[in-house]
Structure 1
Amino acid sequence: MLAERIRKIKPSGVRKIFDLAKKVKDPIDLSLGEPDFDVPKEIKEEAITWIRKGFNKYTLSAGIPELREKVKEHLRKKGIIFEEVMLTAGVTGGLLLCCLGLIDEGDEVLIPDPYFVMYEYQVMLAGGVPRYIDTYPDFRLREERIRDLLSPRTKAIIINSPSNPTGTVYSREELEMVARIARERDLLVISDDIYDRFVYDTPQAPSLGQIYEKTITLGGFSKSWAMTGWRLGYLAGPKGIVESLITLQQYSFTCPPSFAQKAALLALDYDTTPMIEEYRKRRDLIYEGLREKYEVVKPQGAFFIFPKAPNGKGERLVERAIAEGLFMVPGKVFSQRSTHFRICFAAPSEKLERAIEILKRLA
């Protein structure tokens, strides 16, 4: 009865661990990648105001004009190259539109490994073939590893920086190298910039959207303003592509949530610096706590760390940690390898300290 495309899709490994943690009393749950702070009060009040005013119906499929203009202004300040902008049902919704609108059956899409779980399966849902760029052991992009994967069927490259699950921020030189390859082969690049404000060691993370004109830049409000359940993102890129994806949205998501769009107008001006500084402290805490016992790369952004498990057995370590009440995600969920595990450090310092204590004992 099921379509062949859905038979290839496995339940989310992240959600599996998250659901398991919900059944345990007082778990140390470092599995799900969402901020542990609430939507700022001012933004919530703005949403409530518009709900009470009756702004609860469909909007234009591309989103309300005033927020599209605000997003354009935001992207111009970042130096992003684009011709048109649309609003989407989260970055995940924007990515799905890209995959369905741009990938044909058999097209190959290059994805750095480790990768966010959605990339692999959304490419497959569109009939595409994921090809994995090996970035181990330091999670950096290497030109020869990308060129080795190129074929006549290569259509696009997906880049996520800062990265989920590794916290890697790609350098300007790495992104220029990707842009050079993409330009040579006339490839599309999809740049997932959802964690662009979560940068700890440099003022700003460079983006491929600043370098290559055939980049589709994805961004959103879920991480920086904790609006994960409000499902609001944006997509920017070449005019012809964006206009076609707006049409596709008419026949899929219809439009982004109405009240969230109004609240997002305020969010884009809301200062997230104190929250980012708190996450930098947590990054330092978890990294310093694990580095003596684990092989681990210091994350430069996002709110994840991706250590290597003892003897390279990530799933076994996660099983042992769960027995101790600590919930993490095995690296195999994000990779073709099963050697690592992901910790989300968007959690109170007290929980992180308890997690460090357990992991040191299990090392």
Structure 2
Amino acid sequence: MKFDIYDFFSELSKNKVKIRMDAGDPDIKPNDIIIDELTKNIRDLGYAPYKGLDELREVIAEYHKVDLDNVIITPGSKAAISSLILFSKKVNLISPYWSGYEFSANLFNKQISILNTELENSWEPNFSNIEKDTTLIINYPNNPTGKVITQKKIKELIDESLDKNLTIVSDEAYRDIVFDGFKFKLTDYILQNSVSIFSFSKTFSLPGLRLGYAVGDKQLIDKIGRFIKANITSVPKFSQRAAIKALEMWDSIADQVKDIYYKRLILFLNKVNNKKFVYVRPEGTFYVFLKLNGLSGTELAYNLAKKGIGIFPGEAFGNEFENFIRISLTTKEENIPLAADLINETIDEMKS
């Protein structure tokens, strides 16, 4: 069964699925202080500077220890990544990967090169296999595997990037959700020909604001700026003022969110039947990427949709992952044991 993401969302809608563990749409309520700041500024509907409000950019520049010219506020992280794909000659993706990278590359008719990783090697990338003169998109902690990059691998990546003239785009949407390892910011290691991109959607549960930022090489920041000027003009001022308030509480919110998702992870792993799957325990994010023993992840996803559970099949993250599923722990804790039981039960039905 070939997976089509839009057909699948239609199936979830048709079945009125209640327990959504498919998309990475956080269910944790945003902090009330951030929402109050948002509503207080909602009437300020004039254009903002295309690079973003200086007040917000200054906070981010201080956090990353860079100049203001190295920072731009973006309409979500997706637009920032997409803009750099547009200006690339060739895009290098690490498999498995979030499908949005591929969508953008295909939209802009960019050639894609794949750097494969394997479950049996704990999803460890071998950066020495990267092609020269490409734009490499990295994503750690990783969607869908939950892999966290190590200091050793960062050094290997930077050495290869300098040797092979790589542009590194670091998608750091899940930067704060780390259980084992450390919070990775590419800007801590290199600024030349690289950019870190952050989203307010995951840590702060604000996906509807479409708000993010990019920090890095000024030439890359300028390219993102050109994209924003040509297509979007600017990010709304009320969103940016809410972001300033969010960053004032960044550490406390990040710790709270991480603890919630870790509790959910343990709850799911303790309940799901480990004999039915092979997986590497996630080190971060709110995803679990599991390999089924001889069954189609897409078929399982459609069967579970009929029972009111939404999950994503592995094919959403590369064609070679047809025997995988991705669980998103973005549902109330009481739903997780029920979902795990139905997953176990449905697998038994498919094997019988």
Normalising by structure 1, we get a TM-score of 0.87
What is the identity percentage for the equivalent residue pairs of Structure 1 and Structure 2?
A: 25
Corresponding residue number in structure 2 for 1:129: 111
1:341 Cα offset (Å): 0.9
Unaligned 5+ segments in structure 1 are 1-9
Q: Which moved more, 1:268-277 or 1:64-73?
A: 268-277
1:287 Cα offset (Å): 2.1
Change over 3 Å in CA distance of 1:12–1:83 after alignment to 2: farther
Corresponding residue number in structure 2 for 1:359: 343
Q: Deviations over 1:308-362 (max 9, x none)?
A: 1230521122222223222111111111311211110111111111111011223
Corresponding residue number in structure 1 for 2:57: 68
SS in 2 for 1:355: helix
Q: In 1, are the aligned partners of 2:135 and 2:167 still within 8 Å (CA)?
A: yes
**Separation in structure 2 between the aligned mates of residue 175 and residue 334 of structure 1, nearest angstrom:** 23
Q: Deviations over 1:6-45 (max 9, x none)?
A: xxxx9971x5434433343463221110111222111010
Corresponding residue number in structure 1 for 2:350: none
Unaligned 5+ segments in structure 2 are 348-352
Change over 3 Å in CA distance of 1:225–1:321 after alignment to 2: same
Corresponding residue number in structure 1 for 2:134: 155
| 1:238-317 mapped onto 2 (5 Å cutoff) | 238-270=217-249, 271-272=252-253, 273-290=255-272, 291-317=274-300
Change over 3 Å in CA distance of 1:188–1:81 after alignment to 2: farther
1:201 Cα offset (Å): 2.3
Change over 3 Å in CA distance of 1:184–1:40 after alignment to 2: same
**Separation in structure 1 between the aligned mates of residue 122 and residue 59 of structure 2, nearest angstrom:** 34
Corresponding residue number in structure 2 for 1:119: 101
Moved over 6 A (4+): none
Change over 3 Å in CA distance of 1:108–1:86 after alignment to 2: same
Q: Which moved more, 1:188-197 or 1:168-177?
A: 168-177
1:17 paired residue among 8, 12, 28: 8
Are 1:179 and 2:158 an aligned pair?
yes
Corresponding residue number in structure 2 for 1:98: 84
Corresponding residue number in structure 1 for 2:27: 36
Q: Which moved more, 1:26-35 or 1:250-259?
A: 26-35
Q: In 1, are the aligned partners of 2:268 and 2:340 still within 8 Å (CA)?
A: yes
Are 1:208 and 2:194 an aligned pair?
no
2:123 paired residue among 140, 144, 152: 140
Q: In 2, are the aligned partners of 1:81 and 1:212 still within 8 Å (CA)?
A: no
**Separation in structure 2 between the aligned mates of residue 351 and residue 175 of structure 1, nearest angstrom:** 37
**Separation in structure 1 between the aligned mates of residue 318 and residue 237 of structure 2, nearest angstrom:** 36
Corresponding residue number in structure 2 for 1:343: 327
Q: In 1, are the aligned partners of 2:172 and 2:197 still within 8 Å (CA)?
A: yes
**RMSD of equivalent CA atoms:** 2.2
User: 1:89 corresponds to which letter in structure 2?
Assistant: P
User: 2:336 corresponds to which letter in structure 1?
Assistant: L
Q: In 2, are the aligned partners of 1:135 and 1:142 still within 8 Å (CA)?
A: yes
Q: In 1, are the aligned partners of 2:265 and 2:286 still within 8 Å (CA)?
A: yes
